[in-house]
Amino acid sequence: MTPAQRVDALVIGSGPNGLAAAIRLARAGRDVVVLEAQPQLGGAVISQELTQPGFVADTFSAVYPAAAASPVFARMPLADHGLDWVHPEVAMAHPMPDGRAGALYRELDRTVANLDDLHPGDGRAWERFAAPYLDNFEALRATVLGGFPPVVGGARLVAAMGLQGTLEFARLLLTSADQLADDLFEGAHARAWLFGSVLHGDIPAEESGSAIAGGYLQLLGHAAGWPSPRGGAGALTGALASYLGSLGGSVQVGQRVQRIVVARGRVAGVVTEDGERFRAPTVIATTSPHALLRLVGDAMPADYVRRLQRFRYGPRTVKVDWALDGPTPWTAPEARQAGTVHVGGEADAVTAQTTAVRRGEIPERPFLLFGQQSIADPSRAPAGKHTAWAYTRVPGAVAGPDAVMAHVERMTDQIERFAPGFRDLVLSRHVQGPDTLQAQNANLVGGDVGGGTYRLDQTVFRPLPSLLPYATPIDGLWIGSSSAFPGGAVHGVPGWTAASYALARSRLPL
Ligand SMILES: Cc1cc2nc3c(=O)[nH]c(=O)nc-3n(C[C@H](O)[C@H](O)[C@H](O)COP(=O)(O)OP(=O)(O)OC[C@H]3O[C@@H](n4cnc5c(N)ncnc54)[C@H](O)[C@@H]3O)c2cc1C
């Protein structure tokens, strides 16, 4: 048997949360190793030539408002390590069947003008809603993108926005997107424009907690933009790994952790699939909750097992990348300049998608999150050519290759409705169904992109009700994936926060 390697801390998983956790530990002087099951680092933030040579596809995630706004990444010199954010002219466009589109610009006044043009008054209403949050954005992001419990951010919010403003924000957290749209808009375009962003999460627009999902993403559009890394998503995790390396930390790929070793109630290290042993007094697992339980096995107290097993995952996903002979020919001009396009049309049609998936029915007209990174970043494709990326939520019935491919046809038909001629531009495509996604990254349970559903209870208490949700009953073992507060999207907050608590607990200088 090979002797065990000894380090101060181990991190399981090299996605944005694993890398953020490792950086936090390395910055505090800890000798840290990240173990990654896949042959490449980066988790759900990597790029590859999936379709054909010369076309850079983002294998999973692609557009990063939360990363651009992340207080965690803001503490890191990522530009020095190769990260260059590309901001498209339009952050997001939501085309409608009449050939027009609601648009989200970084500039609030351009957004207001677009929405007012679509229905007089809707732009001004958005401005009245958004301006106080944008004026106090630092306090808002400290609340939403701080760790749990959000006490420090909450106090900053009260100081910045006053009690009344904070109570209005609390209402926004609890209300539905339906209600927010009723409060603000009279026209159909602005309503659909809001609902498209709601569907980045998985809460239906009529449910509590959906308003903030859409509203916050739109606010991020103004405060930070919806950028992508130049050259591909992998440039972001590449920069994180490079910075980690400069601090003395390292990532070992092809190392699937098979067991977390516990001795006398304390974590002692891990064993990999290949039988390699690592010893460390601190382990941060950026896995799914159920995977964490499997890795620990019988050593985990039964009460914690029972409570963590209640954790629920979100819907399955089908994702497609295309190599195109030219730009996607959207009818709406705003969509031609947008990095992200929400494809689904009217608000009712968009919500019908969530309802159908909930009921286990296959939506005939799926709602798509569509990215076209090559519009603003020519390095993604050969001259004159373009890339497209899209995903959609699907019910359990979309299982097996035939059902997945039939759904890809529905997705393509949906694009064709708003961009006639799209099909003719397709040079090649690459499809990932729910099972493929999970095989490529164990955290994508059943093809869930969110690391767990965002239903309101599980957004607040994530992964379970606790004042310190990153802690486990095993001393020295922490959970820091997107299944911990504040959840999915690329911002590194759960990983960073779990590592911060681990350092505080270890009673060594922070
Ligand atoms: C198709 C898709 C599209 C998305 N689009 C966006 C988007 O546009 N913008 C956005 O902000 N977010 C998006 N997301 C969500 C975002 O990618 C995730 O929220 C984020 O990557 C979560 O980070 P993480 O570090 O917690 O986990 P991950 O990035 O999933 O990384 C977890 C890592 O842990 C590794 N691992 C798991 N188990 C083990 C083990 N036993 N041993 C060793 N390694 C292990 C995995 O291999 C993986 O590399 C998308 C996700 C998907 C799947």
Q: Is 60 in the pocket of ligand 1 (CB under 6 A)?
A: yes
In three state form, how does the secondary structure of 3-36 look?
Answer: CCEECCEEEECCCHHHHHHHHHHHHCCCCEEEEC
Pairing of strands 90-95, 338-343: parallel
Residue among 309, 269, 302, 273 at smallest CA distance from 288: 309
Please indicate whether residue 442, judged by its CB atom, sits closer than 6 Å to ligand 1. Answer: yes
432 CB under 6 A from ligand 1?
no
Q: Nearest Cα to 68, choosing from 244, 222, 295, 196?
A: 222
Which helix (H) or strand (E) segment is 425 a member of? Answer: helix 422-425
* Distance of CA 44 from the midpoint of ligand 1 (Å): 4
Q: Is the CB of 61 inside a 6 Å radius of any atom of ligand 1?
A: yes
Measured in Å, residue 256 CA sits from the centre of ligand 1 at: 15
Classify burial at 378, counting beta carbons within 10 Å of its beta carbon; exposed 0-12, middle 13-18, buried 19 or more.
middle
What 3-state DSSP class applies to 432?
strand
Give the number of the atom of ligand 1 that is nearest the alpha carbon of residue 481.
Answer: 26
Q: How far is the CA of 372 from the centre of ligand 1 (A)?
A: 21
d(CA 203, CA 188): 20
- 255 CA: nearest ligand 1 atom: 43
In this prediction, residue 458 carries a pLDDT of: 94
Residue 477 · residue 260 · CB < 8 Å? yes
- Rounded Cα distance between 259 and 273, Å, is 8
Task: Quote the pLDDT of residue 41.
Answer: 98
Identify the H or E element spanning 288: none
Is the CB–ligand 1 distance for residue 454 below 6 Å? no
Whether residue 453 has its Cβ less than 6 Å from ligand 1: no
Decide if 115 contacts 188 (C-beta within 8 A): no
User: Does residue 15 line the site of ligand 1, with CB under 6 A?
Assistant: yes
DSSP letter at 490? S
Q: How far is the CA of 184 from the centre of ligand 1 (A)?
A: 34
- Distance of alpha carbon 196 from alpha carbon 215, whole angstroms: 10
**Phi and psi (nearest 5°) for 448?**
-75, 125
Task: Give the Å distance between the CA of 45 and the centre of ligand 1.
Answer: 7
CA nearest ligand 1 atom 16, residue: 489
CA of 241 to the centre of ligand 1 (A): 15
Q: Which residues contact 383 (CB under 8 A, 6 or more apart)?
A: none
- The pLDDT assigned to 510 comes to 41
Which structure tokens are listed for 491? 């911002």
Query: If you measure from the C-alpha of residue 444 to the centroid of ligand 1, how many angstroms do you get, rounded to a whole number?
Result: 7
pLDDT in tens, the chain (510 residues): 678 899 999 999 999 999 999 999 999 999 999 999 999 999 999 999 999 999 999 999 999 999 999 999 999 999 999 999 999 999 999 999 999 999 999 999 999 999 999 999 999 999 999 999 999 999 999 999 988 988 888 999 999 999 999 999 999 999 999 999 999 999 999 999 999 999 999 999 999 999 999 999 999 999 999 999 999 999 999 999 999 999 999 999 999 999 999 999 999 999 999 999 999 999 999 999 999 999 999 999 999 999 999 999 999 999 999 999 999 999 999 999 999 999 999 999 999 888 899 899 999 999 999 999 999 999 999 999 999 999 999 999 998 999 999 999 999 999 999 999 999 999 999 999 999 999 999 999 999 999 999 999 999 999 999 999 999 999 999 999 999 999 999 999 999 999 999 999 876 444
Residues paired with 229 in a beta bridge: 85
Cβ–ligand 1 distance for 482 under 6 Å, the answer yes
Q: Whose CA is nearest to atom 49 of ligand 1?
A: 43
**Cα 295 to averaged position of ligand 1 atoms, centre (Å):** 18
Q: Which of 441, 445, 491, 497 to mutate to test the pocket of ligand 1 (most atoms within 8 A of CB)?
A: 441
**360 vs 453: CA distance, rounded Å:** 16
Q: Ligand 1: which of 48, 60, 258 to mutate, most ligand atoms within 8 Å of CB?
A: 60
Residues whose CB falls within 8 Å of the CB of residue 471, separated by 6 or more in sequence, listed in order: 478, 501
As a whole number of angstroms, the distance between CA 294 and CA 43 comes to 20
Nearest protein Cα to ligand 1, atom 41: 257
Cα separation values, 495 from 14, 125, 157, 164, 262, Å? 10, 37, 23, 33, 21
| Residues belonging to the chain | 510
Ligand 1 geometric centre to CA of 258 (Å): 19
- Check pocket membership of 418 for ligand 1, CB cut-off 6 A: no
Ligand 1: residue of 145, 253, 432, 449 to mutate (most ligand atoms within 8 A of CB) is: 449
Task: Tell the residue nearest (CA) to atom 22 of ligand 1.
Answer: 482
Is the beta carbon of 201 within 6 A of some atom in ligand 1?
Answer: no
Nearest CA to ligand 1 atom 5: 61
The ligand 1 atom nearest the CA atom of 480: 26
145 is written with which tokens? Answer: 């993108």
Ligand 1 atom showing the smallest separation from residue 42 Cα: 49
Candidate of 10, 24, 61 to mutate for ligand 1, largest count of ligand atoms within 8 Å of Cβ: 61
Evaluate: CB of 225 within 6 angstroms of ligand 1: no
Q: Count helices and strands (H / E) in the chain.
A: 19, 20
438 lines ligand 1 (CB under 6 A): no
First and final C-alpha spacing in the chain: 35
Which domains are present in the chain?
5-45+71-76+232-312+449-505 (3.50.50.60), 107-220 (no CATH)
Ligand 1 pocket, 286 CB below 6 A? yes
